[in-house]
Chain A
């Protein structure tokens, strides 16, 4: 998704509806958006947001997110459920 404003709206809506599995996917999407723009700080912020939702939801993206954060040196000693 290239429209970051739409993504922002979608995240807010999903949070309001407590659709946390979806929130995780949307944060991951936002992180990838900023990664593509080479904004690693913003990307890692959103990977982190996605991480906590992934841990809570036991999301399929969990390992991928951890790998991304470890790749950028933002996570240490991550333990998985």
Chain B
């Protein structure tokens, strides 16, 4: 049986998914199968991840020219590279144009060309094929039938925003700036220099969950009083407001952002924010897989990597407004801040994994939404259903 081919049951999943498109008061959530079945995971791969823009990594992880990081999404091997030639970050399919050998196995810093370990075809860091050794026989490095210019690496369409590397594998999506114009405009005041240290301001979590449940959990404040009692002590449910954009993102606003660290230190605010940001934080998911948060003194991004239909990796990076914040003087405050966010994300693990387990309940019908508290979640389900059903 070919797993790639939707089974006849798949049509019934689709008709249940249509219920997510109803008005929130009548809508049902995305049905179980889209959280547990491999066939649905493969449909998502094509209709969401291959045809649209999604996050795959952090540009900051490629600090040094020549840095290269392999990434695999939906079994599609790619690598991100900051080329020594022009310092530009690019993404390529991680495959040699000769016999299809995977080129990069682990993060490294390249001194020169990318060499395939099989027959040593070489590629410049900008993707051009620069050597086809012994192609025309021993010691003869060309052949009239082979044009090296046509055998460079497959470049993946890439865009970098807020330190995040996004890709559009099939290359046909509208421009990133057009797709995400609304959030780019909303947060343009934060288009400032971002500074991060990879050790103190990054962490990673692994969850036994479908990627959509991590998205859904982050979108709403409804669960805060029960799941994050610590957070709720200074940011109560009534201090939150939904961010509703029936488009490519949704989330919540907190009006009580007031960080207090045990060190007594404060991080410098981003420039020229205006008083509205004194106590405001905004937390959204840029669909499909980037969790984001902005506050006056730091931002964070959390990339959700779907490993399988029931496993994800979350990679979080925190950014500050001033390079001085990366000094030793702020180290313990940075670590405390990172730990605070790590605790928040860790507190969510049991509910995200619990929902995943619940999605195996045969008669669960996708669930109903609170028309007041669950609007951002409904925005996501609506977006998802439109993508999958191609409306």
Contacts and interface: CB of A to CB of B under 8 A. Distances in A.
A77 interface: yes
A74 interface: yes
Interface string A62-78: 10000001000011111
Contacts of A81: 84-85, 112-113, 124-125, 130
Contact of B124 (A49, A59, A79): A79
Contacts of A54: 112
Nearest to B133: A48
Contacts of B264: none
A12 interface: no
A55 B139 contact: no
A80 B140 CA distance: 18
A49 B115 CA distance: 12
A47 interface: yes
Contacts, number: 72
Given A78-B130, A81-B85, A55 B138 contact: no
B115 A45 contact: no
A58 B140 contact: no
A4 interface: no
B84 A49 contact: no
Q: Is chain B's interface secondary structure helix, strand, loop, or mixed overall?
A: loop
A49 B130 CA distance: 14
A51 B125 contact: no
B122 interface: yes
Interface in A19-55: 41-45, 47-49, 51-52, 54-55
Contact of B128 (A44, A49, A59, A79): A79
Contact of A41 (B110, B112, B138): B138
A57 B111 contact: yes
Contacts of A8: none
**Which residue of A59, A62, A79 has the most chain B CB atoms within 10 A of its CB atom?**
A79
Interface residues of B, number: 24
Nearest to B140: A74
Nearest to B129: A79
A36 B388 CA distance: 67
Given A74-B139, A75-B142, A55 B122 contact: yes
A56 interface: yes
B139 A45 contact: yes
A81 B120 CA distance: 16
B141 A56 contact: no
Nearest to A69: B141
B112 A51 contact: no
Contacts of A78: 130-131
A52 B114 CA distance: 10
Contacts of A48: 133-134, 138-139, 141
Contacts of A43: 139
A57 B114 CA distance: 10
Nearest to A21: B111
Name the 5 nearest CB pairs between A and B, nearest first. A44-B139, A58-B112, A55-B113, A45-B139, A52-B120
21 contacts: A44-B139, A44-B140, A45-B139, A47-B139, A48-B133, A48-B141, A49-B133, A51-B131, A56-B111, A56-B112, A56-B114, A56-B115, A56-B122, A57-B111, A58-B111, A58-B112, A58-B113, A74-B139, A76-B142, A79-B128, A81-B85
